[in-house]
Amino acid sequence: MRSEPKAVTKARYISSVTIVYGVTLLFAWFIINPGVIQQSKVQALPSAPIPNSPYKKIMAGLPARIVLPDLGIDLPIDPGFYNPADKSWTLSGYRTHYAMVTTLPNNHDGNTFIYGHNNKYVFGPVKSIQPGQKALVYTQNNYIFTYSYVSTVGVEPDDTSVFDYSGPPILTIQTCSGNWNEVRQMYTFKYQNFNKL
């Protein structure tokens, strides 16, 4: 076996000693000056509730039942879907439907759209509603959203502007009207409050 020249061995020794000496000095410096490390740490502020916070907890749920007590209406709500192939909505003779493309009943914003036939079993009695009368929407997660009737407007069947609404929470009940049910009658209710069952 061939040995290394003395100069290489000496250089390795000096390099090793220098590295060990440097690490030792660095370690000693951090022990003597511990505040240098802690000064660079970011400290989080203690968490505390914010009094009078403008943020509120948003409550929402899939609608399951609608009640208009002054009109004697108490009906289940089924999911409602639009079929673009035949340009029709899910519809039944004895139940209401929630348009799944609209906002869930909630205490924050948007339009909850519930529709049904203009017959005595569904929304026929709605034509006699008076301003201020209530609509209650029960959700599957046990909330009751209360709305107050404001106004009505008739629109053409192809008018989709109701789906463009943005603003405070409202409920729109839609049924047909006119001599041949050719008009879509929209009843608008403003949000009042919600309660947990």
User: Rounded to an integer, what is the distance from CA 134 to the centroid of its chain?
Assistant: 24
What is each CA distance from 124 to 56, 69, 180, in whole angstroms? 37, 14, 14
Kindly calculate the radius of gyration of the chain based on its CA atoms and give it in whole angstroms: 35
- For residue 99, the cross-strand partners are 80
SS3 130: coil
Nearest to 77 by CA among 112, 129, 51, 106: 112
Q: Identify the CATH class of 63-196.
A: mainly beta
Tokens 């493309």 map to which residue?
101
Run of H or E residues at 28: helix 6-32
Q: How far apart are CA 101 and CA 163, in angstroms?
A: 8
Length of the chain: 197
CA distance 68 to 116: 14
Q: List the pLDDT tens digit at each of the 197 positions of the chain.
A: 566 677 777 777 887 778 877 777 776 666 776 655 555 444 444 545 556 656 678 899 999 999 999 999 999 999 999 888 888 889 998 999 999 999 999 999 999 999 999 999 999 999 999 999 999 999 999 999 999 999 999 999 888 888 899 999 999 999 999 888 899 999 999 999 999 98
Return the biggest CA–CA distance within the chain.
113
The pLDDT assigned to 108 comes to 94
Residue 84: other Cβ atoms inside 10 A: 6
In the chain, where the domains are located:
6-39, 63-196
